[in-house]
Structures are given as C-alpha cells and as structure tokens.
Structure 1
Amino acid sequence: MSEQIALVTGASRGLGFALAEALAPAYHVVAVGRTIGGLEDLDDRIKARGGAATLAPMDITKTDAMAQLCRSIWDRWGGAALWLHTAVHAAPLTPASHLDAKDLEKSIATNLTATGVLIPFVAPLLGEAGRAVFFADDHAGEKFYGSYGTTKGAQIALARSWQAESAKIGPKVDIVQPLPMNTTTRMRFHPGEDKDALASPYAEAARLLSELGIL
C-alpha cells in the first residue's frame, strides 16, 4: 500500500466520527456511515487537519454494498491497515415484555449480522499485519437493555472468537471499553443525564488510540 488506509464503520457521528478525525492525516480514512451530512462534516474537519478521506454513505446491513466497498478498497489500495467498527443500532430502552419486533430485528441486523458479514470481507484487506478494533459496551442482562445489550454483547462475543483465532496468525484484533460518552446514543438511552459528567468522544478517541499504540 502506498498510503495507510483506515476503514471506520459508523463514522458519521459519535465515537466513530472522533476516531476518524483523529486518524487523519496519519491515515487516509475510508469513512462509512448512513448520515451524509455527518460524513461531509467529517470530511471538512479531516481536510482542515491536512488529511484526506473517502466518504462511503452506506448502510452496513446491505451486504452487496459492503462487498463492493471492500473490493474497491482492495482494487485501489491493495488492502487496509486498520478497521475500527463503531456502527451500532441503539434501540430504545424497553422492558423485555414490550420489545418491538422491528427494533429487535434492526438491532440483530446491524449489531450482529452485519459484523458477521463484515469480518470475512475485511479480514483479507487487513492480512496478517493489519488491525481491527471493536468497542465493547456491556449491558447484556441489564433491565430495559434487551435489544441493545443482547445484540451488542453478541457482537463482542463474535469479535472475541476472531481475536482468539487470529492471535498467532493475524490480523491483530483489539476489544476496548470506552468510558460513558456524551453521544447521541447515550442521550437516547439516558436523556436526563448530566452531560458534563460524561467523557467527550474526542477525548476518548485520543485516549483509546494512544492506549492501542495506533497514534
């Protein structure tokens, strides 16, 4: 690869946005997200740092689109050095006895199934020397977190399997735990929470990338 490529899924807001911005200009960022306005804002901020991004306004649950994106990364750059996976569906908190079938289906599709599809797509891009990073948010078994906690927990369980399988052969798979952050997802879960008591996504991006030794 002539330049270092970082694929960030879920880059249009929150932690994914902050991570993608922080990675520039050390990496050319391939930013995947559903919110076009958010991706355009990210592109402006990356350019202001002297970096460059390729915007991919896509839904990660669309398998054909993800396959085409990964093939395009291979054809253009020959692979990627990093994959940071922050995309998530945050279903509203609700008792398990009141789960909405559509929200549960979307949670499974986004948080679990798409991850299971993306790992085989992205692994060849990373090769032996690349690195994948997943972001734990452990709420499995907590009251009212039925949809999110179950599917996010399943995503991380899948990532842990890949981590164990690739430990000796690569790519390196990391699973990190961000602090509670002032994000749209957090506010959706806890609308009355004191925002000043929460970490900034930008501060968390800097901390996590430093601890991982990426920046």
Structure 2
Amino acid sequence: MTEKLALITGASRGLGAAFAEALAPEYHIVAVARTTGALEELDDNIQAKGGKATLAPMDITNIDAMAQLCRSIHDRWGKVDLWVHSAVHGAPLTPTNHIDQKDLDKAVSINVTATGRLIPFLSPLLGDTGHAVFFEDDRAGQKFFGSYGATKAAQIALARSWQAETVNTGPRVSILSPNGMPTGTRARFFPGEDRESLSNPRDEAARLLATLDL
C-alpha cells in the first residue's frame, strides 16, 4: 500500500499539533513549524501512537525553504494527500489608528503572502485527489482586531477562491470553523477568559476531522 502523506504547516502547537497526532499513524506526517523543541515533542507523541513524522523546522515565509521542502516531498513521496494549514500570526490587539507597522507587515507576511505562495507550491503535489484544509476565524471588522482580522480574512479569501476554482478538477479544499480553544494566541486576545469553557484542541481536531470524509 502506498504511504499516505499529510503536510501540517503550523504543527508545533494548538490545532496543528492536534491534527498531526490525530492523523498518525494513518498518515506519515510532515510537520512544519519554527519551534524545534515543540516539533520534537510532537514527534514523541506521534511515535507513541505508532506513527512516523518528518520534522521540518522552518519559517513558512522563507520562500526558498518552502520551495525546497516541496521539492523534497516530490522526490521522496511524489505527492501530498492532505495539507492542513494552521499557521497563523496573531498580531497584537490595538486600535486601528495605533497599528504598529512591523506587526502589520508580519501579519501580512505569515497570514497572506505565505498562503499565496504555498497554494501554487502545493497544488501540483495535491493533484486532483488531494485535500487542503484551512481554518477560518472571522474577526474582520471587530474592534482592535485590525491587523489579525484583515489578514486572516484575506487568507480565507484566497482559500475560498481556490475552493471555487477546483470544484470540478480537484484538489478538494475545505474551510473549517473551529470552536474556541485554550491556545496561546487566544490567551493573548482574551486574557482572563475562563479557559475551562473552551474546547480541547485534541477534541476539536477529532470533531473537525470527522467532517472531512477522508
């Protein structure tokens, strides 16, 4: 049987890590994130389930690194069966007229530009039978969410266009709506929130995966 491959961008923590663990051992996991230590912890969890992972500690905004990764995937596996894109930058909350240019530039680079580069890189590897998954978080227009809301909305707009364009040709493109989870990003957005009322990322990954018909 040909080994199935899942590429997880933003795999070091939160929903990305939970998806990686949930997909193993059915899929070989290629886990991409900047934090080496968190990736190594993820690898331990995947191995404990009898799965295998290839760790790719790199920045998705580095176009040369991502191009090389996709070439390496092509040379070794020839395809990607599933791409889960959970990488996101949660820019600090601030009044729109106080937005820091560096924060905005970083949000654009990670949330928009990198996504716009990765879709053309991954499309040939996904082919007509692969599946790409994105996660929406509709904060556009909410007060203090200027940088994050605008760039996350732009990311999902790219995904929706790709989804509409590939209905008849593939790959499948899914845009999922996670429930609130006690992640580091959410803690920065909502300090003091009752985290006990939020969904565990592993539970949320299981719920969302059940909707995908993989």
Shorter-chain TM-score above 0.5:
yes
* Cα distance between partner residues in 1 of 2:151 and 2:103: 11
Deviation at 1:212, TM superposition (A): 1.1
Is the counterpart of residue 173 in structure 1 residue 160 in structure 2?
Answer: no
- Which residue pairs with 1:76 in the alignment? 76
- Which residue pairs with 1:9 in the alignment? 9
Deviation at 1:78, TM superposition (A): 0.5
Kept in 2, the 8 Å contact 1:2–1:77? The answer is no
- Which residue pairs with 2:93 in the alignment? 93
Is the counterpart of residue 48 in structure 1 residue 28 in structure 2?
Answer: no
SS, match of residue 210 in structure 2: helix
| CA RMSD across the alignment | 0.8
> Which ranges of structure 1 fall in alignment gaps of 5 or more residues?
none
Deviation at 1:202, TM superposition (A): 0.6
Deviation at 1:213, TM superposition (A): 1.9
Deviation at 1:2, TM superposition (A): 2.4
Deviation at 1:112, TM superposition (A): 0.2
Give the letter aligned to residue 49 of structure 2. Answer: R
- Which residue pairs with 2:109 in the alignment? 109
Alignment of 1:123-134 (within 5 A): 123-134=123-134
- Which residue pairs with 1:193 in the alignment? 193
The runs of at least 4 consecutive aligned structure 1 residues that moved more than 3 Å come to: none
SS, match of residue 212 in structure 1: coil
Query: CA deviation digits over 1:111-139, x for unaligned, max 9?
Result: 00000000000000000000000000000
* Cα distance between partner residues in 1 of 2:92 and 2:201: 21
Kept in 2, the 8 Å contact 1:9–1:31? The answer is yes
- Which residue pairs with 1:20 in the alignment? 20
Percent of pairs identical after alignment? 66
Scaled by the length of structure 2, what TM-score is found?
0.99
